[in-house]
Structure 1
Amino acid sequence: MPPLVANVFHVLKDAEQDGLFLSTPEVNKALLNTFRIEVSVKTVQRALVKLRNEQLVDCEKRGTALFWRKRPGANGMASRSSGLMTYEQALALQTLKRFSSRQIPSLVAESLASLFDTAEKRLDASQNDSERRYRKWVDKVEVESGGFALQHPAIDPVLFSAVTHALFYEQQLDVVYRVRSKDYQEKSKVVDPLGLVEVGGLVYLIAAMPGYPKPAMYRLDRLVSAKMLPERFTYPAEFSLAEYVKDQRQFDFMVEGAITVELRFFNGAGNHLLESPLSDDQVATTTNEGLEVTGTVLLSKRLRWWLRSFGPNVQVLGPAALRGEMVAEARTLMALYGETP
């Protein structure tokens, strides 16, 4: 596509987003405002006719004037039509649609909607055994969580859209958040959105607030309202979402610092750690009593949840404080289950 034609195509409104038709002079003006390209209306008209001939734009005649906008599915690879999309591209898109995280940010979803539709049609149009293998591949792969399956709370799509747009454009968010620790009291806040993280099917907004040194986490399903404000904020250069999640381990919840944990597993409960170590410095030794594992980890609520999941098949040998916690919990459990109903 020639550069001028591509620029004309760019400034047109999108039918998939209920965009308005623009007259040829309006397209010419948008071209000047967006790209500082100054050409005649007739030149723009020729570019628009070329786009119409390629079935990328719709045209309406109102009196003697012509009005234009992008056709549904005209963006991205969809503009090449399903007949020109390769089966490899169609398979990749369908796999992305099916196996991506539970929530694709709405800005991305809007852009990819027509591509997903085109990919599905391309795979459905398989004509022979070789082509049908691509169609069948998606049905041969599944993803299953290793944890106990829960029904995750729904996220309001309108609120989700407001959050993702504010995150994308780096504009402040005015939110009302329902705080569980305070009897679900609703609190109004103006925050700077820094990132989105999905953990176990729950989606969290990571956001900063003026006067607070560290970002906070807000579960999106607890948002009562969210409105993107016109005020922009400067995204902090020192903040890294990857570091926040992977290095600071903020989603381990209530991180208390690094410890050297010493564990003894029974009945093969810890054998998976031989292939998936709990730390870089893990040392595992098989003894007559069981599998003994030591390693440096962060003491947190998540570590405690993980240890409890093994029940009587793990014994905490150290550190002493963590062992004491487990002993106290075991005594409490004895009190709960020691009496015959």
Structure 2
Amino acid sequence: MPKRPDTLETTLLAVELLRRIPRHRKISAVELHEQLKHAGIERELRTIQRQLEKLSEQFDIERDDRSKPFGYRWKERASGLSLPVLSEQESLMLMLAEQHLRHLLPSSLMQSMDGFFQQARANLSPHGGNATGNVTGRGNRREREWLNKVRVVSTTQPLLPPKIRPGVFETVSNALYANRWLALDYKNAAGKRKTASVMPLGLAQQGVRLYLVCRYEGYDNERILALHRILSAEASVHTFERPRDFDLQRYDADGHFGFGDGKRIRLMFRIAKEAGLHLLESPLSSDQQVREVGDGFEISATVVETAQLEWWLRGFGEAVGEVRREALSM
């Protein structure tokens, strides 16, 4: 009879493997071995292979053994690793998150969350419930009603997310997590195609698009690549030391995602009252100053100079005028 600690360790390993098996691509034992290693879970490759064989027999996991290394993924309509202890409030938050993300993320990314969303929907259905009894049909009525009382609305013209090629997001995000070099085949907005080895430093979502911040091999400046323009991505076995001088939050604050270079200016302009009223409620900056002038406002604020700022100002048309910019010392 196996010892209890060994049984517990085997169970925990099975759970970790089930969590990491994807739905929309196949993953090998070697890849899972690497993921577990980076998560601080040291196991022999052969142990993982044996565990995967057992799991594919006991769960709805597809095992592709036509060639080595074998590939594993959840079957199309498999429930996956369910969350039986979701409370009504947790289920509600997941459903609201799904509504918010549906038009913000590519469908392939939303599909990877299907197991969680399905469990939340089941919990909030009229006949919802689970083995622990945390959710019942009577107890979740208010939560179900709440879904029809709130909605996330877009502040701009809604757009559908661009399509990201299969496997690209998974490869990029895994390489980013593990600090591994990436070999990319990329086509820019002008249609020019290029292959490059890059150091992935961060992922950012801007509207419905996802962007990779990276450094090209041999360079020390950052580039921004749209994930939907990556034709293929392959993670290297070689790792890199993450640059100490890079901070994604500071990179964003410097306006790089708005096509700026961190240059701060004192922006001054006049705006019609009807068009500028919202700036009294949602200021441009913490040091914004407003002066009422006739039928308009005179606004002054410290901002980062970006192309996005220019587009924003032009969007007001004739409602904005007398625009001035003063450079600030760094």
TM-score, structure 2 length as denominator?
A: 0.71
CA distance, structure 2, for counterparts of residue 256 and residue 168 of structure 1: 26
Q: Report the CA distance shift for 1:109/1:164 in structure 2 as closer, same or farther (over 3 A).
A: farther
Q: Report the CA distance shift for 1:6/1:133 in structure 2 as closer, same or farther (over 3 A).
A: farther
Look up the equivalent residue of 2:93 and give its one-letter code. A
The CA deviation at 1:5 is: 4.0
Instruction: Report what 2:171 is aligned to.
Output: 162
Task: Note if 1:188 corresponds to 2:190.
Answer: no
Of 231, 242, 267, the match for 1:235: 242
Q: Report the CA distance shift for 1:20/1:207 in structure 2 as closer, same or farther (over 3 A).
A: closer
Instruction: Report what 1:203 is aligned to.
Output: 210
The CA deviation at 1:278 is: 0.9
Q: Report the CA distance shift for 1:89/1:299 in structure 2 as closer, same or farther (over 3 A).
A: closer
Instruction: Report what 1:7 is aligned to.
Output: 9
Instruction: Report what 1:34 is aligned to.
Output: 42
Q: Give the number of the structure whose alpha-carbon radius of gyration is greater.
A: 1
Of 258, 270, 278, the match for 2:284: 278
Of 170, 174, 190, the match for 2:183: 174
Deviates more, 1:248-257 or 1:101-110: 101-110
Instruction: Report what 1:214 is aligned to.
Output: 221
Instruction: Report what 1:119 is aligned to.
Output: 120
The CA deviation at 1:34 is: 3.3
| Identity %, equivalent residues | 28
CA distance, structure 2, for counterparts of residue 131 and residue 261 of structure 1: 51
Task: Note if 1:225 corresponds to 2:208.
Answer: no
CA distance, structure 2, for counterparts of residue 108 and residue 234 of structure 1: 31
Instruction: Report what 1:95 is aligned to.
Output: 96
Q: Report the CA distance shift for 1:151/1:194 in structure 2 as closer, same or farther (over 3 A).
A: same
The CA deviation at 1:304 is: 0.8
Map 1:136-147 onto structure 2 (within 5 A): 136-147=145-156
Look up the equivalent residue of 2:98 and give its one-letter code. K
The CA deviation at 1:285 is: 0.8
C-alpha offsets along residues 83-126 of structure 1, whole Å, 9 cap, x if unaligned?
A: x432122222222333247238989975x543332222121124
Q: Report the CA distance shift for 1:108/1:310 in structure 2 as closer, same or farther (over 3 A).
A: closer
The CA deviation at 1:8 is: 1.1
The CA deviation at 1:320 is: 8.1
Give SS of 2:237's match.
Answer: strand
Task: Note if 1:304 corresponds to 2:310.
Answer: yes
Q: Report the CA distance shift for 1:19/1:268 in structure 2 as closer, same or farther (over 3 A).
A: closer
Instruction: Report what 1:314 is aligned to.
Output: 320
Gaps of 5+ in 1: 22-32, 37-51, 60-69, 322-341
Question: What RMSD, in angstroms, separates the aligned Cα atoms of the two structures?
Answer: 3.6
The CA deviation at 1:73 is: 5.3
The CA deviation at 1:157 is: 3.2
More helix by share: 1
Of 244, 247, 261, the match for 2:251: 244
Q: Report the CA distance shift for 1:272/1:108 in structure 2 as closer, same or farther (over 3 A).
A: closer
Question: Are 1:270 and 1:291, in contact at CA under 8 Å, matched by a contact in 2?
Answer: yes
Q: Report the CA distance shift for 1:306/1:188 in structure 2 as closer, same or farther (over 3 A).
A: same
CA distance, structure 2, for counterparts of residue 159 and residue 272 of structure 1: 40
Look up the equivalent residue of 1:184 and give its one-letter code. G
Aligned length: 274
Give SS of 1:191's match.
Answer: strand
Question: Are 2:105 and 2:209, in contact at CA under 8 Å, matched by a contact in 1?
Answer: no
C-alpha offsets along residues 30-67 of structure 1, whole Å, 9 cap, x if unaligned?
A: xxx9369xxxxxxxxxxxxxxx9xxxx669xxxxxxxx
Look up the equivalent residue of 1:238 and give its one-letter code. D
Question: Are 1:11 and 1:34, in contact at CA under 8 Å, matched by a contact in 2?
Answer: no
Instruction: Report what 1:135 is aligned to.
Output: 144
The CA deviation at 1:150 is: 3.3
Q: Report the CA distance shift for 1:258/1:119 in structure 2 as closer, same or farther (over 3 A).
A: same
Q: Which has the higher contact order (CA 8 A, sep 6+)?
A: 2
Give SS of 2:245's match.
Answer: coil
Give SS of 2:167's match.
Answer: helix
Question: Are 2:285 and 2:302, in contact at CA under 8 Å, matched by a contact in 1?
Answer: yes
Q: Report the CA distance shift for 1:74/1:219 in structure 2 as closer, same or farther (over 3 A).
A: closer
Gaps of 5+ in 2: 30-40, 45-54, 61-73, 129-135
Question: Are 1:207 and 1:217, in contact at CA under 8 Å, matched by a contact in 2?
Answer: yes
Give SS of 2:147's match.
Answer: helix
